[in-house]
Amino acid sequence: WDQPLIMEQGGPGRRGTVPPAPIETAVDALPEGVRRTTPLALPEVAEPDVLRHYLRLSQQTMGMIGISLFGTCTMKYNPRVGELLAARDQLAEIHPHQDDASVQGLLEIVHEFDLMLRELSGMGRFIFQAGGGAAAAYVHACVTRAYHESRGELERRRDVITTAQAHPCNPATAAAAGFNVITLPVERDGYPSLDALRAVVGDRTAALMINNPDDMGIYNPHIKEWVDVVHEAGGLCFYDHANFNGVMGRIRAAELGFDACMFMLHKTFGAPKGGGGPAVGAYGCTPELEPFLPGPLVVRTDAGYERRENAGGVGRVREFLGNLPQVVKAYAWTLAMGADGIREAADISVLANNYMETRLLAIPGVTKSFDHLTARRLEMTRYSLGEYTEETGVTAVDIQNRMTDYGVDAFWLSHEPWIVPEPFTPEAGEGWSKEDIDYWIDVLAHVMEEGRADPELVRSAPHNQVVAQIDTASLDDPARWATTWRAYRRKNEREVTA
């Protein structure tokens, strides 16, 4: 079904919705000079047609309706009970500036969930202001800035150290906060050596920002020493818990010595991802760093719960308390899972990954990153199709495209930098059944066979999707890219009836 753009639909005079008329006609109208005179070329479409249009677009989005073992992202089941709770007026229709007395239930949830995350991490306090994992990393960069500033060392402490396998948001937010980024390369053991770290640590060190385990499923067993080394030099240590799913309930960031960590509620804690938000990067830190947190903090007093500014903290990284509906969903998820469920989820997630590994490595042409390492990987493993691509000319992206023809959503390749050729990173987590995992693997094996028998079939995929493979040539060409219909029409100089 080829669904035209909404801008191409409708006709003059059609109405999709009608706002209430004014209480009375404005007596004291705004001056002419500030009023719009250019007509708005928005679509004029009736309500049923707008609805049907977006219903159709929804059906043209595979997402989690097929099977999606998207790695590095901990895609999991989003219980619908959370949606029903979040849709209640007592959450959806709460204004952020309401008096604390009128939102006691909400503040209690925020506080209780803070306590839950403290229990999981050993940290002293969490905030939910950051609208995603990257924003939480930026919180850390800002907290680091404020911490060193408070000690008069900010001018000196310019370096943030990270690793090639840390999520790109770590170096990026550090750089945006004005730091110099030092990225340690991955070495033979699957992580940088302690010596490499020691070589760059010093009195210029502001912070270490790191994931562990990383996206290859490798856990750095020297992480405590790393933290010690950085601490000794006066730097802070931030644990990006993007890969928490495999170690939930087994380790606590604070016990490993970290000063701060980040959880993604929209991934690890069962809240939906929304195709990329609204999300929450829950940022937690030790009591020592709490003075630097951006306010407002939610605190419990004898009289109830209140929001309190944090004098001396980072001002804000975002307006208001955060995406509280996602916090409520994560809270409900955590209640439902409990300590036993969380531990079980980690077990199953790691077990499923090892099961997949056994099956995937049996497929000719699939190899594993750092395949000389024999230790079991945690909740994901990075694989490579490098040999297969050399043999067939069919790339990981081609395979990805073709797999969608079988109802399997795209897998994740790898974050930058690519350490292995033609990488791919499936992750089953605890939410996909063994049958679905088996189907996924069967499809991969089948598509790889197709690629051997008929490379062009796979290279030209998909064949069963709404649209065929995109021609990416125009995307980075200023003369042809078009992020709006206005731009497209101008660049294509053609008359299109709006």
Within 45-64, the residues that bind another protein by CB under 8 A are 45-51, 53-64
Binding segment for another protein among 363-371, 385-393, 440-448, 464-472 (CB under 8 A)? 464-472
Give the binding-site size for a second copy (rule: CB under 8 A): 23
Which does residue 394 bind out of another protein, a second copy, none, counting CB within 5 to 8 angstroms by kind?
A: none
For 106, the enclosing helix (H) or strand (E) is helix 104-121
- The least distance separating a second copy from the CB of residue 330, rounded to whole angstroms, comes to 17
- List the one residue from 67, 174, 236, 447 that touches another protein (CB under 8 A): 174
Task: Show the site string, 399-418: x = touches a second copy by CB under 8 A, - = not.
Answer: --------x-----------
Q: Is there a contact between 271 and 333 (Cβ–Cβ < 8 Å)? A: yes
- List the one residue from 41, 77, 338, 362 that touches a second copy (CB under 8 A): 77
Q: How far apart are CA 382 and CA 379, in angstroms?
A: 10
Which does residue 439 bind out of another protein, a second copy, none, counting CB within 5 to 8 angstroms by kind?
A: none
Q: Which is nearer to another protein, 303 or 470 (CB)?
A: 470
Q: List the beta bridge partners of residue 299.
A: 306
Q: What is the 3-state secondary structure (H, E, C) of 311-334?
A: CCCCCCCCCCCCCHHHHHHHHHHH
For 423, the enclosing helix (H) or strand (E) is strand 423-424
Which does residue 294 bind out of a second copy, another protein, none, counting CB within 5 to 8 angstroms by kind?
A: another protein
- Using DSSP bridges, classify how beta strands 281-285 and 125-130 pair: parallel, antiparallel or unpaired: antiparallel
- List the one residue from 41, 42, 56, 168 that touches a second copy (CB under 8 A): 56
Q: DSSP per residue over 137-193, as a string?
A: HHHHHHHHHHHHHHTT-TTT--EEEEETTS-THHHHHHHHTTPEEEEEPP-TTSS--
What part of residues 106-165 is at the interface with another protein (CB under 8 A)? Answer: 106, 108-109, 116, 119-120, 131-135, 137-138, 142, 145-146, 149, 154-155
What part of residues 20-49 is at the interface with a second copy (CB under 8 A)? Answer: 46-49
Q: Counting Cβ atoms within 10 Å, is residue 467 exposed (0-12), middle (13-18) or buried (19+)?
A: exposed
- The least distance separating another protein from the CB of residue 274, rounded to whole angstroms, comes to 3
What part of residues 436-455 is at the interface with a second copy (CB under 8 A)? Answer: 436
Rg of the chain over all Cα atoms, to the nearest angstrom = 25
Task: Show the site string, 247-266: x = touches another protein by CB under 8 A, - = not.
Answer: x-xxxx--xx-------x-x
Q: How far apart are CA 69 and CA 437, in angstroms?
A: 8
Read off the tokens for 438: 């088996």
Contact between 299 and another protein by CB under 8 A: the answer reads no
Q: Is there a contact between 331 and 107 (Cβ–Cβ < 8 Å)? A: no
Q: Is there a contact between 355 and 437 (Cβ–Cβ < 8 Å)? A: yes
The values of phi and psi at residue 423, to 5°, are: -80, 155
C-beta atoms surrounding 42 within 10 Å:
11
The values of phi and psi at residue 210, to 5°, are: -150, 150
Contact between 172 and a second copy by CB under 8 A: the answer reads no
Binding segment for another protein among 90-98, 196-204, 381-389, 446-454 (CB under 8 A)? 90-98
Q: How far apart are CA 220 and CA 149, in angstroms?
A: 31
Contact between 348 and another protein by CB under 8 A: the answer reads yes
- List the one residue from 340, 372, 494, 495 that touches another protein (CB under 8 A): 340
Tally the C-alpha atoms within 13 A of residue 357's C-alpha that lie toward its C-beta: 21
- The least distance separating a second copy from the CB of residue 379, rounded to whole angstroms, comes to 17
Which does residue 423 bind out of another protein, a second copy, none, counting CB within 5 to 8 angstroms by kind?
A: none
- The least distance separating a second copy from the CB of residue 39, rounded to whole angstroms, comes to 22
Task: Show the site string, 351-390: x = touches another protein by CB under 8 A, - = not.
Answer: xx-xx-xxx---------------xxxx------------
Which does residue 345 bind out of another protein, a second copy, none, counting CB within 5 to 8 angstroms by kind?
A: another protein
Contact between 61 and a second copy by CB under 8 A: the answer reads no
Q: Which residues bind a second copy (CB under 8 A)?
A: 1, 9, 11, 46-49, 51-52, 55-56, 59, 64-66, 77, 79-80, 407, 431, 433, 435-436
